[in-house]
Amino acid sequence: MARRTALITSLAALALVAGGVAPVVHAAEELPVPSQDPFYTAPDPLPAGAPGDVIRSRKVDWHPEPFRILPAPVKAYQVLHRSTSATGTPNAVSATVLVPPTAWTGTGPRPLIAYAMGTQGMADECAPSYHLREGTEVEIAFLAQALFKGWAVAVTDYEGLGTPGTHTYAVGQSEGRALLDTARAATRLPEAQLSPNAPIGAFGYSQGGQAAAWAGELQATYAPELKLVGIAEGGVPSDLNEVAAFNNGGPGSGLVVAAAIGYSTAYPELPFAEHLNQRGKDVTEKVRNSCVAQLALTAPFTRLNDLTTTPDLINHPAWQARLVENKLGTVKPAAPVYLYHGTVDELIPYAGAKKLRDRYCAVGADLQWTPIPLAGHIVAISAWGTNALNWLGDRFGGKATKSSC
* C-alpha distances in Å from residue 59, one per residue of 133, 162, 167, 169, 249: 11, 17, 25, 28, 44
pLDDT tens-digit readout, 64-88: 655 555 555 899 999 999 999 999 9
- 355 pLDDT above the threshold of 80: yes
pLDDT tens-digit readout, 285-335: 999 999 999 988 898 999 999 999 999 999 999 999 999 999 999 999 999
> 108 and 143: one domain?
yes
> 106 and 154: one domain?
yes
Asked whether residue 403 is assigned to any structural domain, the reply reads no
Cβ count within 10 A of residue 23:
21
Backbone torsions φ then ψ of 18, nearest 5 degrees: -65, -30
- Confidence (pTM): 0.92
Q: What is the pLDDT of residue 376?
A: 97
**Mean of pLDDT over the chain:** 91
Mean pLDDT, to the nearest integer, of 112-141?
Answer: 94
> 227 and 364: one domain?
yes
Cα angle 375, 378, 379; round to 5: 40
> 98 and 215: one domain?
yes
> 171 and 136: one domain?
yes
Picking from 272, 305, 323, the residue at the C-terminal end of a domain is: 323
**How many domains does one find in the chain?**
2
Q: What is the CATH number of the domain that holds 318?
A: 1.10.260.130
Q: What is the pLDDT of residue 135?
A: 84
Asked whether residue 229 is assigned to any structural domain, the reply reads yes
pLDDT tens-digit readout, 160-197: 999 999 999 999 999 999 999 999 999 999 999 999 99
Q: Strand 367-372 and strand 75-84: pairing? A: unpaired
> 200 and 72: one domain?
yes
> 227 and 275: one domain?
no
Picking from 323, 344, 375, the residue at the C-terminal end of a domain is: 323
How far apart CA 202 and CA 212 sit, in angstroms, is: 5
- 28 pLDDT above the threshold of 50: no
- 263 pLDDT above the threshold of 90: yes
> 186 and 309: one domain?
no
Asked whether residue 155 is assigned to any structural domain, the reply reads yes
Confidence at 6, pLDDT banded by 50, 70, 90: very low
Confidence at 268, pLDDT banded by 50, 70, 90: very high
Residue type, 74: V
* C-alpha distances in Å from residue 383, one per residue of 14, 192, 354: 10, 31, 19
How far apart CA 190 and CA 258 sit, in angstroms, is: 36
Picking from 323, 349, 377, the residue at the C-terminal end of a domain is: 323
> 67 and 152: one domain?
yes
Q: What is the pLDDT of residue 66?
A: 52
- 4 pLDDT above the threshold of 70: no
DSSP notation for 224-249: TTSEEEEEEEES----HHHHHHHHTT
pLDDT tens-digit readout, 374-390: 999 999 999 999 999 99
With residue 4 as reference, give the H or E element that holds it. none
Domain extent for 148:
6-19+31-239+327-396
